[in-house]
Amino acid sequence: MKKFLMVLAGLVALASTPALAQLRVDVTQGNAQPLPIAIPDFVGDHHAGANIAGVVRADLERSGLFRPLDQKGFAERITNINAVPNFGSWRSITAQGLVTGQVTQQPDGRLRVDFRLWDVYGESQMLGLQFFTTPENWRRIAHMVSDAVYERITGEKGYFDTRIVFISETGPALKRVKRLAIMDEDGANPIFLTNGSYMVLTPRFNPTAQMIAYMSYIATKPRVYLFDIETGKQEVLGNFPNMTFSPRFSPDGNKVALTLETGGNSDVYVMDLRSRAVQRLTSDPGIDTAPSFSPDGRQIAFESDRGGSQQVYLMNADGSGQRRITFGQGNNGTPVWSPRGDLLAFTKQQGSQFTIGVMRTDGSGERLISSGGRDEGPTWAPNGRVLMYSRGLSGGGGSQIWSVDVTGRNQRRVLTPGSASDPAWSPLIH
């Protein structure tokens, strides 16, 4: 400090010397706002260009981190994406980012989509990419553009080119029909994977988004099944004597952790999908269920009521080192490890209130991030930044899927065809 004061003294004396006239400033407070970004309709093929830009705008807006500006206010009309935009005109409408794109039909019938992301204040191109695809895949291309823009601006991977597998719920409250369904992350292209003649629950993607593990009542005993999305084939997982439920894949996709009930007691097991070998991981008389692997595959979070109430525990992947990590109020269950590894999402229950929370993987730093009162079953976006979960409505009013930023901001409903629950987020598809 002394030294510095001397420098300061020098500063006063030699104020004209640039080397010494340095002010130090520490900005520690900001104004968290979505980034204003201009995304004019892509040029070229007018129809596809408007469609793609529309999906990109919707994707980025949904993230809560961007604020796509209304096209009506645009002063410059982009006609050639290879020319440098007039940055001043975009600054004048407060745009900080600008996405220009072009869609052209190739002689072979494919679409070619070029786009550039511009730093309006820095007056430079931040990104330029080109895609080729068949015309019917325009939505995927749009999601990939969104992912690229999101990643370039935020520094983390996007999650728009992903799918959600979920349980579609139809019919009256006392006779709900629950079907396995899948849709794009933005709710487009919903497809039913089962026909509703039997109930299905708790679907989970494998790491390649090609396989879904889920619980089905298709036979007398409810069990965990695997659904191969490519072939549409379903198979029961393993030859267990009783109910199996709550499956979840290991990060390498080679194992499934699940719960087996025997004589009324539920314990966590893990099955190797190649050898079909089964290993029992827990063996106490409490309810042990809802296993979730850490991203490195070395640990498993699960819930147990062995201590008298439902709480989150950790163990090594071989079942050793079981220890409780939640000690706070209420019950805590359904731990789900963030793909980033830094957090566990979970469901907190206090009385009849259910809330989604996140905490560090040692159980500290708990934050509740949802406000529905009947929120449960979190699932992470592949970038570990956003979560989806089920929100129950009162009086048998069905269920909805909601999403929220890991910070607790930007809670919003995910549009589904009808009632929906048990979302599971796929990894990035591309």
Cα separation, 269 vs 76, whole angstroms:
61
Q: Provide DSSP, 327-372.
A: -SSSEEEEEEE-TTSSEEEEEEEETTEEEEEEEETTS-S-EE---S
Residue 325 Cβ, how far from other proteins at the closest point, in Å? 17
Residue 287 Cβ, how far from other proteins at the closest point, in Å? 4
Q: Are 95 and 73 within 8 A, CB to CB? A: no
Q: Provide DSSP, 53-95.
A: HHHHHHHHHHHTSEEEPPGGG-SSPP--TTSPP-HHHHHTTT-
Nearer of residues 197 and 239 to other proteins, judged by Cβ: 197
Q: Are 32 and 92 within 8 A, CB to CB? A: no
Residue 278 Cβ, how far from other proteins at the closest point, in Å? 19
Nearer of residues 34 and 277 to other proteins, judged by Cβ: 34
Nearer of residues 94 and 371 to other proteins, judged by Cβ: 94
Q: Provide DSSP, 182-238.
A: EEETTS-S-EESS-SSS-EEEEEE-TTSSEEEEEE-SSSS-EEEEEETTT--EEE-S
Hey, which residues does 170 pair with through a beta bridge?
A: 177
Nearer of residues 180 and 317 to other proteins, judged by Cβ: 180
Residue 131 Cβ, how far from other proteins at the closest point, in Å? 6
Q: Are 366 and 344 within 8 A, CB to CB? A: no
> Which DSSP letter does residue 100 get?
E
Residue 188 Cβ, how far from other proteins at the closest point, in Å? 7
Nearer of residues 148 and 369 to other proteins, judged by Cβ: 148
Nearer of residues 275 and 364 to other proteins, judged by Cβ: 364
Nearer of residues 412 and 430 to other proteins, judged by Cβ: 430
Residue 245 Cβ, how far from other proteins at the closest point, in Å? 5
Residue 370 Cβ, how far from other proteins at the closest point, in Å? 14
Cα separation, 87 vs 419, whole angstroms:
45
Tokens of 222: 């409810």
Cα separation, 383 vs 284, whole angstroms:
35
